[in-house]
Structure 1
Amino acid sequence: MSPLHRARPALLLSSLLACGPSDPEDCSRYDITLSPPPATARHLTCSSTACGDGLNPPTSGDHCGSTLACRVHDTEQNRCVWLHNLEHGHAVFLYNCPEGCPELVATLDSLRQEAKAGGNGVIRAIVAPDSQIPTRVAALLWRRSWGGDAADANAIRCLMQHQDAEAPEPELSCLP
């Protein structure tokens, strides 16, 4: 065996040790917004246009008394309704691509599967289109949001570390 072959394992080991243990994701590098507490978070009729906290997309505020089923929706949903889901600690993943984007929806659904489940076993997250969001993708929790032009799995996972943290009615189960 040549000296180079004998040295190769030691070189490999030293290069691995130099890297140190892998660091957990540094979530501070993502622009995850925490909005101020809403002035009110009342239940409105679902036909009301006065819902939300004035942000786009809204992350808190007055909302409908109904919630959406936690699943992938292929049609745009009433913002006043999914705001109530946020109040319950559910996650909402939105996308804006009128031309269709099945790969993006599949990625968001995969991330949805990583959300916490309720006592009934249903994963507490929604995926839905939203033509009003200013980015291609938005991930929301009560008072927290992240948006971007692509589904950044690491940013969304960082956001999801806060699931239930600010929600007034956290950990509530979701309808399938």
Structure 2
Amino acid sequence: MSLLRRALPALLLTPLLACGPSQPDAPDCSRFEFPISPAPASATHVSCTSTRCGDGLNPPTSGDHCSSTLPCRVYDTEQNRCVWLHNMEHGHAVFLYNCPEGCPELVSTLEAIRTEAAVGSNGVTRAVVAPDSRIPNRVAALLWRVSYVADSADPDALRCLLQFQDKYAPEAGLACTP
């Protein structure tokens, strides 16, 4: 009986310890809304010069796309939307910015959040950062069918968006070339 009495506190505490430490720095994602677009009517491979790329949204979050993907890295020039849509089909995150006058702090924020995206089986972070002069705001963070569009890069919102990485992607979890 005395052995049970001594072991009981440890037995009761064990499930709590198994949960690990709490994460006080984790963002409160309930304060953000991320539009989830309907599944596209078509998501086939088309020519990279096709005008049929995307789902008609700006920026697109799904739809027809090129057969090739972009290497997952940071770009300082605009990339073909038709190509990065294919990245998103694979579950890769795409972070875009529209700052004709330059915005190094915003780009630095996107680059930092990019490093928090899921990593593929080859060790490459599955995310792209690139400028895009056609997005309606300064920032767009995109996953297949999920988007965050704003005039600033809120790190908490971007981290919360990454919780959807791979959720709706038809070919989720695929590695990306460096």
TM-score by length of 1: 0.85
1:86-115 deviations in Å (ceiling 9; x for gaps): 000000000000111111111100000000
Alignment RMSD, CA only? 1.3
Q: How does 1:59-138 map to 2 (within 5 A)?
A: 59-138=61-140
| Corresponding letter in the other structure for 1:122 | V
C-alpha separation in 1, matches of 2:174 and 2:148? 22
1:60-103 deviations in Å (ceiling 9; x for gaps): 00000000010000000000000000000000000000111111
Pick aligned residue for 1:45 from 44, 47, 72: 47
| Residues 120 and 25 of structure 1: CA distance in aligned 2, closer, same or farther (over 3 Å) | same
- Give 1:27's aligned residue: 29
- Give 1:148's aligned residue: 150
Answer yes or no: is 1:163 the counterpart of 2:165. yes
How many corresponding residue pairs? Answer: 156
| Deviation at residue 26 of structure 1 after TM alignment | 2.9
1:26-66 deviations in Å (ceiling 9; x for gaps): 32321311000000100001111110001110000000000
- Give 1:174's aligned residue: 176
| Deviation at residue 22 of structure 1 after TM alignment | 4.8
| Deviation at residue 142 of structure 1 after TM alignment | 0.2
C-alpha separation in 1, matches of 2:159 and 2:51? 31
4+ runs of 1 displaced by more than 2 Å? Answer: 21-26
C-alpha separation in 2, matches of 1:165 and 1:47? 28
| Corresponding letter in the other structure for 1:171 | G
C-alpha separation in 2, matches of 1:142 and 1:154? 20
| Corresponding letter in the other structure for 1:53 | D
C-alpha separation in 1, matches of 2:28 and 2:51? 38
C-alpha separation in 2, matches of 1:160 and 1:23? 16
- Give 2:12's aligned residue: none
TM-score by length of 2: 0.85
Identity %: 69
| Deviation at residue 124 of structure 1 after TM alignment | 0.2
